[in-house]
């Protein structure tokens, strides 16, 4: 049994692996692939240290750094079930392999959301695609449709107006992407934008031949002749394997607190699969680092590496009197010591700090 099992090989998972390995934890990383969603991003301009870098290249640099450390990587299998066992957790993959660890971090990210219209499934990989970066060059010189109005749709449009004969951008709503991305595509001579239109059907026999759309206001329908359809309408959390074990929100994201805890001792989650807002590579990487550090603290407590007992910490807080009760703004807030695990509830409002085991305690709830 290893110390820490990390499920997912994207920015959060790989960053967690580096931090765990640096803490000398016996670490196992399990993932279907390396890189995750950033592999599908053509250009990244907001990751510190790089003015511009391809998503695939950035993930290759992540992987190179991970491989500098003595940790085990199992790539190619996807975890289909995670369960609690005596002393930790067991993960079963779609290859019928089972791995065990004392603690685990879920960092499985998200995947493209399907449009769920007639013709989509039948023509998947026959003109229907979810990645302009991967498949865009296959449609050079053709008419194509991009479905969606957010950043991913605008990035796909920007890629395709450079190589396609004509691009139809179709969205249910006004464009919601970043203004800088809208500016990149507006004015392109080979671009037609259909705002407030819905896709009713993707047409074709062996390959995509067109899309049928409807104006939401006038209810008029029209068919557009295209050879490719790029569906860019958002992402779905890869959380199905864990939904019977831990709480998910209405979007299917894993609910975590500020310490990346799921509510099950020893089980943490990080990155886009969680409820943490702002789905950005830099945020996911930071959350992965946090989760690994929290897992390390959990394992230290588990192994009783800290001699101070919880009772001693409670007594110390009591002896500190006002200082132990004053470091908050609201009565009822809960704080925890990241060393011993002691938790306290605020009963008096003041201006001091909550201290335990020689360090400030961390707020875990309002």
Which sequence positions are flagged as catalytic?
131, 134-135
C-alpha closest to that of 361 among 243, 315, 340:
340
Q: How far apart are CA 166 and CA 74, in angstroms?
A: 42
Neighbours of 271 (CB within 10 A): 33
Element (H, E) at 291: helix 281-302
Q: How far apart are CA 288 and CA 8, in angstroms?
A: 10
CA distances from 132 to 38, 41, 161, 273 (A): 13, 9, 11, 23
Q: How far apart are CA 104 and CA 91, in angstroms?
A: 9
Crossing angle for the helix pair 281-302 and 11-22, nearest 10 degrees?
40
**Rounded to 5°, angle at Cα 112 from 106 and 115:** 140
Q: C-alpha dihedral over 302, 306, 308, 313, to 10 degrees?
A: -70
Asked whether 90 and 100 are in contact (CB, 8 A), the reply is yes
Strands 197-204 and 208-215: antiparallel
11 burial (CB, 10 Å; 0-12 / 13-18 / 19+) is buried
């Amino acid at each position: 049994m290893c110390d820490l099992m990390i499920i997912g090989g994207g920015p959060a998972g790989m960053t967690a692996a580096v931090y765990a390995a640096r803490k000398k934890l016996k670490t196992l990383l399990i993932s279907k692939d390396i890189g995750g969603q950033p592999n599908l991003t053509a250009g990244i301009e907001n990751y510190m240290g790089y003015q511009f870098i391809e998503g695939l290249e950035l993930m290759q640099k992540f992987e190179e750094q991970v491989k500098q450390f003595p940790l085990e990587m199992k790539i190619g299998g996807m975890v289909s079930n995670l369960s609690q066992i005596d002393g930790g957790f067991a993960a079963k993959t779609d290859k019928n392999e089972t791995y065990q660890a004392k603690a685990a971090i879920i960092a499985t990210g998200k995947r493209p959301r399907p449009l769920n219209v007639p013709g989509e499934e039948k023509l998947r990989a026959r003109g229907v695609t979810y990645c302009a970066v991967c498949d865009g060059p296959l449609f050079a010189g053709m008419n194509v449709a991009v479905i969606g109005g957010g950043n991913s749709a605008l990035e796909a449009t920007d890629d395709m107006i450079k190589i396609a004969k004509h691009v139809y951008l179709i969205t249910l709503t006004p464009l919601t992407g970043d203004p800088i991305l809208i500016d990149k595509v507006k004015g392109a001579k080979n671009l037609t934008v259909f705002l407030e239109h819905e896709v009713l059907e993707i047409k074709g026999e062996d390959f995509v031949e067109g899309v049928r759309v409807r104006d939401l206001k006038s209810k008029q329908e029209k068919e557009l002749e295209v050879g490719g359809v790029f569906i860019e309408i958002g992402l779905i959390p890869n959380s199905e394997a864990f939904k019977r074990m831990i709480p998910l929100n209405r979007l299917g994201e894993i609910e975590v607190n500020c310490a990346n805890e799921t509510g099950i001792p020893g089980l943490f989650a990080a990155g886009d699969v969680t409820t943490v807002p702002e789905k950005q590579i830099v945020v996911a990487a930071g959350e992965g680092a946090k989760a690994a550090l929290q897992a390390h603290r959990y394992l230290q407590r588990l192994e009783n590496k800290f001699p101070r007992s919880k009772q001693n910490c409670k007594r110390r807080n009591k002896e500190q009197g006002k200082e132990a009760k004053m470091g908050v703004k609201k009565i009822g807030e809960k704080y925890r010591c990241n060393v011993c695990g002691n938790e306290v509830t605020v009963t008096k409002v003041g201006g001091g700090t909550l201290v335990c085991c020689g360090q400030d305690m961390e707020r875990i709830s309002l």
